[in-house]
Amino acid sequence: MRKILIVCVASAALFAADDDPLTRISADSLRGHLSFLASDLLEGRGTPSRGLDLAAEYIAAQFRRAGLEPAGDEGYFQTATVKVREQNPENFEFTVTGGGKTLRIDPQQTSIVPDQPIRLDDIPAAKVVIITGRGVTAPGNLLLTLYSGHGGSQVSDPESTRPNLRRNTVNSPELLEFLKNSPDAKFTVHVSPPIEHSAKVRNVAAILRGSDPSLRDTFVLLTAHYDHLGVGFDGANDDGSGTVSVVEIASALAAMNPHPKRSILFMTFFGEERGLLGSRYYGRHPLVPVAKTIADLNLEQVGRTDSTEGPQIANASVTGFDFSDLPQILADAGKLNGIKVYKNEKASDPYFARSDNQALADLGVPAHTLCVAFDYPDYHGMGDHWEKVDFANMAKVDRAVAAGLLHLASDAPAPKWNESNPAAKKYLEAAKKLQ
């Protein structure tokens, strides 16, 4: 602990120096990056999409500008192929009748991707299972998830053995209201077999090579996902904020002379919203040796402070807080930089497996996600715009993250899984296999 404090104190002392590169982490710079990545031009950065490709090129350009080494198989890109199944617009029909009225659902409001053609005519609403939340599914002629969020195609990684979760979704608040007022409603749904194709997608990766000859072949990862839900959903906080934080911290640390002792791999993942696709692909195709990777710090939703739990100013939480000693290292660094890093008792453990840290943890690498607000207005909604981000607070959080990263990239002992926590047992066993 004394060594941790010494390193963190040294980092904090650097912040006071006029020539400290970490002062380059600024609210204005973060605002500039995010106002582009979360703009309508990028069409919600769905996986796959033109907007996602534009975002990847922008991130790579920032890594190039900072002078970081490319780490992918194609320069700064680690390329992969995903399988896409899209709703077939041919002969599509979705109408609901009841109470003398008819509601017609536009194909752009649905994502119905069946294995076989669907042709249902005037079936009672009682035979259609409608899910409006995260409830348990039930049998029926047609299973629909009714929501006011995103839809789109089904995307899966052809290499993965994990099954692709398939949901037929309808984005229509009007339908729910219609059904409330028309208990005798009947559905007519015609959907042709899906259109299938493959698409190229990319993780974006760069290395800041360590300065110590004996430690430069060991690695710390700083990661975030740069995809979101697609057209209409800007995804400024989720996870544009994490993405621009990776870019900003990478640029700041690249300006250090000398570099940190260990090497740092900066990476942004595709397809988190599709089931952690990009990080799981990296887990199967690591760009640096897993046995030489001492930690992964993943950033998610670090921009919005208007949490549903109340304002979150000058603090951050870490998932799986008691799973390893990495969160405590971050807490020590945060304390010396004006940020309280704490365990959110309600969300810390349940959210551990819901972000890109999971793929690295499964390999045995101490890996956690840091966020400011687990839930906030506009989460996965159309209102998650960059103007709602608290950039001053995000810059402060990022400086604390950078201080923790500097500690991890020093000659301090590598983080370890908590042997006394049963929840960390499988990760501890995986880590032993790396030795």
Average pLDDT over residues 368-393: 96
Give mean pLDDT, residues 352-359.
97
> What topology is assigned to 2-82+199-434 in CATH?
Aminopeptidase (3.40.630)
- Asked whether 287 and 226 are in contact (CB, 8 A), the reply is no
Closest CA to 414 of 431, 391, 392: 431
pLDDT tens per residue, range 63-78? 999 999 999 999 999 9
In the chain, the largest separation of any two C-alpha atoms, in whole Å, equals 78
Stretch 402-421: mean pLDDT, rounded?
Answer: 97
> What is the residue whose two structure tokens read 């710079």?
29
Class of domain 91-196 as given by CATH = alpha beta
Residue labelled with tokens 């979760």: 165
* Tens of pLDDT, residues 263-309: 999 999 999 999 999 999 999 999 999 999 999 999 999 999 999 99
DSSP 382: T
Of 107-116, 284-293, 424-433, the least confident: 107-116
pLDDT per residue over 237-267, tens digit each?
999 999 999 999 999 999 999 999 999 999 9
> Taking the model in full, what pTM does it have?
0.88
- Reported as a single tens digit per residue, the pLDDT across 139-173 is 344 566 654 445 567 888 878 766 565 667 787 88
pLDDT tens for each residue of 5-29: 444 444 444 434 446 778 899 999 9
Most confident segment among 107-111, 334-338, 355-359? 355-359
Q: Is 292 exposed, middle or buried (0-12, 13-18, 19+ CB in 10 A)?
A: middle
**What residue segments make up the domains of the chain, in order of their start?**
2-82+199-434, 91-196
